[in-house]
Structure formats: structure tokens, C-alpha cells
Amino acid sequence: MRILLISGIVFVHVPHDPQTSPFLGLNGFFDWLRVFLGDSLFRIGVPCLSAISGYLLFQRGRNAFDYGKTLRSKAKTVLLPFLLWNGALLAAVLVIQPFGIGVGYFPDLWNASTREFLSYALATEGLPIDIPLYFLRDLIVCILLSPVLAVLVRRYPAVTLGVLFVLAILPGVTLGIVLKKSILFSFTFGIFLALNRLDLKALDRFSVAGSAAVLAAAVVLSIGLYHTGPDFPWALDLARSTLSIVGAGGFWLISALAIRSSIGQRLASTGSLSFWIFCAHYPLLMLMWMAWNRVADDGAYPLFYVIAIAVSFIILPATNFFVSRTLPGLYEVLTGSRGRKAKLLAASKSYSSVGLTNPAEPTMTQQRR
């Protein structure tokens, strides 16, 4: 699911300017497709990833949860990669902006106030300079709050989830502690699933109907968004937020179908590639966007969109492979030690390939996560 969801997030962040906005409808069906992928279907990615993170944190039960150990572990697997990836882009922008490069594409760091600069560097109050990494920032907050969330969802599940869900979907409501409200609800819902040991495969028999339902809902929503955006009416904004959260269940059912195929099995074993794509895709897309605007005009934007997506899914796996093989130490730091987990998974696969069993081998449900 992670590689599917994070690959979808790449579509969300393909850059454009007001002259190439899909809501202008200058390219007909192509622009609607951009809205469907970037503003409807793949907006489900972050809430779904949040639910997975909350579930995995408590999958062994409340009694096995060690808060201190968790904080130490997540400092390495979440906080450090956030600081390194965001800090690297921040430093690069600081270097190039005095030469007139990147101006208008990234925030003006040299004229930013101390408060603004801290937000770009650490996401203290707003989005970091590597925008998608706000997810890691909010995930850190959720992890810090996890013992409280676990107690609340254990003792008052309906009230806790109900309040967080309403706050998450209501337009115009801000929470302050997280940048994206859906992350807090979805993370807490993941904890609820883990603590109650609910059978995550119980609904798999409805995978076809559930997958079709979430795709249909995304299509219908995108039609409304396409004709009213970018300033969506209150009702459509509410529907957009609701689908981004509820749609996570549909994506889980889609994974129930995907994991049965050979392609799905291969995707399930890509390991740290998904994290690499997540952290590296935004700087790459922005670099291509800056280069494109020097050689092409607005009318060729559909070509840029296709090229940017295609090139991203070539360069990102290639650089992931290169760095993991040539600089394994650096790679483990940049991916929060996820490279090590990928090696363990590969070793686990080798057991099964020769007919042996390995107690560390993940189940199909774990592979889907």
C-alpha cells in the first residue's frame, strides 16, 4: 500500500502556475484527469498512510508499547530523515536564490523573517520548504501524543473518533498542533484498529465492490471540483475532506486485489523505495519545472505533466538503487534505517524461494501494509 499511495502522491505535487491550472479547463479531459488524480483520488494517500502508522505503532498491544523506546526509534526513522531532506533543500535554495535561481518557485528565504524561516526549516507553524514532508512533521506530533490518544480511544472510542473525524472534515477549522487535520484522526483510528485487534482482512470479500465504490466516488467528486475550483464551495470542500479519509478503506480493499497478483507481490517487497520516493519527489519535480519554464510555453503544459511523471518514476527508483548500493550507510540514514528492513525482507524471501519457512517472513496482511 505504501508504494501505491506514495506513487499517487507524486501526482498530487506536479507543479503548475495560475496560467496552467487545471481548473481553467484549457485542455479539456486532460485537465479533468489532473483534478481526478491530484485533487480527488490520491488525496486519500496521506490519511491512509497515517492510519497505517498508527496501527503499526500499537500492533503488539498497549502493554507492549514502550514510549521511551518508541521516541528513540522514531527520532531515527522519522525526525532525522525530515531534518536531513528538508534541510538539504533549504540549504540548496539558500545557495541558488542570490543568483536569481528558484525565485518565485520557492519562498524568498533571504527576506523571510526569523519566524517564517523557522517554519520553512522545521515546519513549526506552516509548511516546510519540502512541502510533502509536512506529513513527517505531523507524524512526529502524533507519535508524541500517542499514549494520550491510545488511552482516549481505548476508554472513549466513539467520542474520541467522532470528535476528531468531525474536526478533520469541517472546512475552516484548524487544530494548531497538526498542519493537516486528517492525519490526527487517521493515526488515532489506526491505533483503535490495533488495540481492538480487528480482523483487517474481514472485508476482503467485498474488495471488488469497495474498490469500485471509492473509484466512483472519486470520479463524481472530481467532476464537481473541476467545474467549481480552485475555490470550492463549502459542501464540495466537505466532501473532498470526507473522501480523503473514508477512501482509505477503499484503498485497503484495492490492495486486497493487488496483493494477489505477481506485480502486487513485487510492489510489496520494494521496501524503502517508497520512503525514498516520498522524500525526493518534490525537489525533483520542482527542478524539472524550473528547467521546463526556461524552454517551453504554457501551451505545452500537458507535455510537461506527462514527462515529469514519467521521468520521476525513472529517476527516483534509479537513484534509490544507486545510493543504496554505493553509499549504504548514507542510504540508511536518509531512509530512517528502512534500507535495513528491506534487506531483512529480501532475506526472508530467499527462505521461501528454496522451500524453507522463516518466522520473520511477513504475512500477506503485513505485506499489504
pLDDT digits (tens, 9 = 90+) for 169-203: 999 888 889 999 999 999 999 999 999 998 888 88
**With the CA atoms of 277, 280, 281 and 284 taken in that order, what torsion angle do they form, in degrees rounded to the nearest 10?**
-140
Tell which wins on pLDDT, 366 or 248: 248
Q: What is the pLDDT of residue 351?
A: 40
Residue 343 scores a pLDDT above 60: no
- The whole-number average pLDDT for the span 297-316 is 93
Query: What pLDDT sits at residue 362?
Result: 53
Question: Is residue 359's pLDDT more than 50?
Answer: no
Query: Which triple of cell numbers denotes residue 224?
Result: 464537481
Q: What is the mean pLDDT of the chain?
A: 90
Per-domain residue ranges for the chain? 2-350
Asked whether the predicted pLDDT for residue 167 surpasses 70, the reply is yes
Give the per-residue pLDDT at 213: 95
pLDDT value of residue 365:
56
- Please give the average per-residue pLDDT across 303-327, as a whole number: 96
Percent of the chain at pLDDT above 90? 78
Specify the pLDDT at position 369. Answer: 60
pLDDT at 366: 57
Q: How far apart are CA 204 and CA 207, in angstroms?
A: 5
C-beta separation of 86 from 128 below 8 A: yes
> What pLDDT does residue 185 have?
97
Distance of CA 320 to the CA centre of its chain: 18
DSSP character at residue 359: T
Phi, psi dihedrals of residue 103, rounded to the nearest 5° = -70, 125
User: Of 359 and 75, which is predicted with more confidence?
Assistant: 75
Q: Which residue has the higher pLDDT, 176 or 298?
A: 176
What is the spatial distance between Cα 10 and Cα 282, in angstroms, rounded to a whole number?
Answer: 8
Judge whether residue 364 has pLDDT over 80. Answer: no
Residues 6+ apart with CB under 8 A from 125: 115, 118, 119
**Mean pLDDT, rounded, for 112-140:** 96
Q: Is the peptide bond before 230 cis (omega within 30 degrees of 0)?
A: yes
How does residue 353 score in pLDDT terms, banded at 50, 70 and 90?
very low
- Label residue 368 by pLDDT band (50, 70, 90): low
Closest alpha carbon to 152 in 123, 127, 185: 185
**pLDDT over 70 at 217, yes or no:** yes
| Contact assessment for residue 272 and residue 320, using Cβ atoms and an 8 Å cutoff | yes
Q: What is the pLDDT of residue 347?
A: 47
- Nearest CA to 53 out of 68, 70, 69, 37 is that of 70
Give the three cell numbers for residue 26: 484549457
C-alpha span between 58 and 53 (Å, rounded): 9
For residue 338, the model assigns a pLDDT of 77
User: Read out DSSP for 100-146?
Assistant: T-SBTTB--GGG--HHHHHHHHH-SSS--SSGGGHHHHHHHHHHHHH
Judged by DSSP in three states, 297 sits in coil
